Structure 1
Amino acid sequence: MGNMMRGVSATDNVKKNNYDSSVKGLEDDMVVVLQDYPSAEISEPIYRMGEKLRLIAQEAYWWRVRCVQTGKENYIPNSHVAKVYHGWLFEGVERQKAEELLCLPGNRVGSFLVRESTRERGLYSLSVKHRIVKHYRIFRLENSWYYISPRLTFQCLEDMINHYSDFADGLCCALTSPCLSGTTPPPDATPEAPPVVMRRNFDWKKLDRRQLVSTESCNDNMVSYGVRNSISAYLSFSGNQNSAQMRAESRKKKSKSVYTVPENHLANIDYADDF
């Protein structure tokens, strides 16, 4: 579909406004730096592109922010930052800037963001990092449901993201993680040392053969210790697989609000234009 179907009734407008407020109500204090400030030509930047900041106060052109990593507060022009909701919905980020953010170190294949149009509120595009950054227009039906491909519609953007996190379904790849979701420790923080695992080493030549057939339930000999470790590792591996399966099933449950259009109504996915 080349054109976007828009609702015209007052009820649809109310639904749209209610949805937008629910999407943006919980994390309206998080912003991301869009360009270094101040620029390198002036002095050493205080904030660099891609850095996450907590919004403390909006004072016209200047916003007071706190660095997530260091906790230090300062001011930054509002033109140098963009608000972020749910970790992946970026307000007022243009196509070129989305590509720059997704190409920053720390983003992997499948990293993504949903960007709202800078020209008209309520219009969205999905940008995904692959071999290159791909952009997909998100359309909206008259009943306020969303879709990229018309054979799959979703009641809200969260359901859409949950679905495409499990299946590529026509996209360049499945979604893996929100843009800039990887965090780094503060520069002055001491990295936590990895846990130390104590292992017992033994010489098979000095092993008492009776230890191989011991049936004592509380036996703490070297062989029983190794067997227990092997069983524990196996159970841990099985548990990780089960956990991953449970997480996938959980995401599927979240995206139950999916409507599938019959095959004769299929159409190609449209790539987003610049806006």
Structure 2
Amino acid sequence: MGNMMRGVSAKNKVDTDNLDSSIKGDEDDMVVVLQDYPSPEISMPIYRMGDKLQIIAQEAYWLRVRSVQTGKENYIPNSHVAKVYHGWLFEGVERQKAEELLLLPGNRVGSFLVRESSRERGLYSLSVKHRMVKHYRIFRLDNSWYYISPRLTFQCLEDMINHYSDSADGLCCALTSPCLSGTTPPLDASPGAPPVVMRCNFDWKKVDRKQLVSSDSYSDNMVSYGVRNSIAAYMSFSGDQDSIQLRGDSRKRKSKSMYALPENDF
């Protein structure tokens, strides 16, 4: 296999003349917590390792942030967080910390992150969760192309991630999802949220045939109007006389039940 060059959309196109800034783009407002803050020895932590935070403002050595999970705002020292770009490029995360993040609950096999060296800008490593966390050094050619294996080079990190997401191609496994991408906000319990419907199961073998074709009040029947009508239609094909009566009665009762007011003592 030769050099890999994937088509890059105008939105994600990388300018190789200014590669580092192009990779990071304008997504410098997202960080991930590297250690609990404050320390559990001091008080109950406000933020836990692995929490994703959105930067609201930066004040000297502090960041005012908003939790992606809860939406709550607070302050955290910038030494306790790492900036994240594109969801998978972590700035200044060391090998050991990358392992701790990838081993957090919610990360599955194939979860990954690309970490930029804190010692020398432009040096990257790929960390992947498998049976254990595996690390791969990402090398950079003089022409600014990247590679893990010399037989396969990529114009940008995005192309590399895309390729190894399609196939392991020498890695321990194919890349599945960025580290901590399984962290999602809680379900919205607001009045506008769609209702949750609880269904009661029953055994069809225990259903009395008379309940399916009975013309009694629907309110006492365990089978809905739509299901009853479908059953009646099926039974009519087999020549069942009870079903013919059911369909006739159901049309009359449906027109009444659709517009009848409930009986109450107003």
CA–CA separation in structure 1 for the residues paired with 2:102 and 2:178:
9
Could you say if the C-alpha distance between residues 169 and 193 of structure 1 is closer, same or farther in structure 2, counting changes exceeding 3 Å? Answer: farther
Q: How far is 1:195 from its partner? A: 6.7
Structure 1 stretch 71-80 or stretch 110-119: which is displaced more?
Answer: 71-80
Identify the residue that residue 67 of structure 2 maps to in structure 1: 67
For the pair 1:99 / 2:72, whether they are aligned, the reply is no
Could you say if the C-alpha distance between residues 108 and 194 of structure 1 is closer, same or farther in structure 2, counting changes exceeding 3 Å? Answer: farther
Q: How far is 1:19 from its partner? A: 1.2
**Larger RCO (CA within 8 A; separation ≥ 6):** 1
Identify the residue that residue 127 of structure 2 maps to in structure 1: 127
Query: Which letter maps to 2:68?
Result: V
| Aligned counterpart for 1:200 among listed residues 220, 227, 245 | 227
Q: How far is 1:133 from its partner? A: 0.2
Q: How far is 1:188 from its partner? A: 7.8
Identify the residue that residue 42 of structure 2 maps to in structure 1: 42
Secondary structure at 1:53 match in 2? strand
For the pair 1:163 / 2:190, whether they are aligned, the reply is no
Encode CA deviations 1:123-155: one digit per residue, 9 max, x unaligned: 000000000000000000010000000110000
Could you say if the C-alpha distance between residues 164 and 195 of structure 1 is closer, same or farther in structure 2, counting changes exceeding 3 Å? Answer: farther
Between the two proteins, the alignment pairs up a number of residues equal to 198
What is the 5 A alignment of 1:213-252?
none
Identify the residue that residue 111 of structure 2 maps to in structure 1: 111
Could you say if the C-alpha distance between residues 79 and 162 of structure 1 is closer, same or farther in structure 2, counting changes exceeding 3 Å? Answer: same
The RMSD of aligned alpha carbons is 2.7
CA–CA separation in structure 1 for the residues paired with 2:66 and 2:227:
49
Query: Which letter maps to 1:200?
Result: V
Identify the residue that residue 263 of structure 1 maps to in structure 2: none
For the pair 1:85 / 2:113, whether they are aligned, the reply is no
TM-score, L = length of structure 1: 0.66
Q: How far is 1:187 from its partner? A: 7.9
Q: How far is 1:196 from its partner? A: 8.0
Unaligned runs of 5+ in 1: 1-14, 212-220, 222-275
Higher-Rg member (1/2): 2
Identify the residue that residue 183 of structure 2 maps to in structure 1: 183
Query: Which letter maps to 2:92?
Result: G
Could you say if the C-alpha distance between residues 39 and 192 of structure 1 is closer, same or farther in structure 2, counting changes exceeding 3 Å? Answer: farther
Secondary structure at 2:227 match in 1? coil
For the pair 1:172 / 2:172, whether they are aligned, the reply is yes
Q: How far is 1:90 from its partner? A: 0.1
Encode CA deviations 1:166-185: one digit per residue, 9 max, x unaligned: 01000000000000001333
Q: How far is 1:200 from its partner? A: 2.8
TM-score, L = length of structure 2: 0.68
CA–CA separation in structure 2 for the residues paired with 1:90 and 1:58:
19
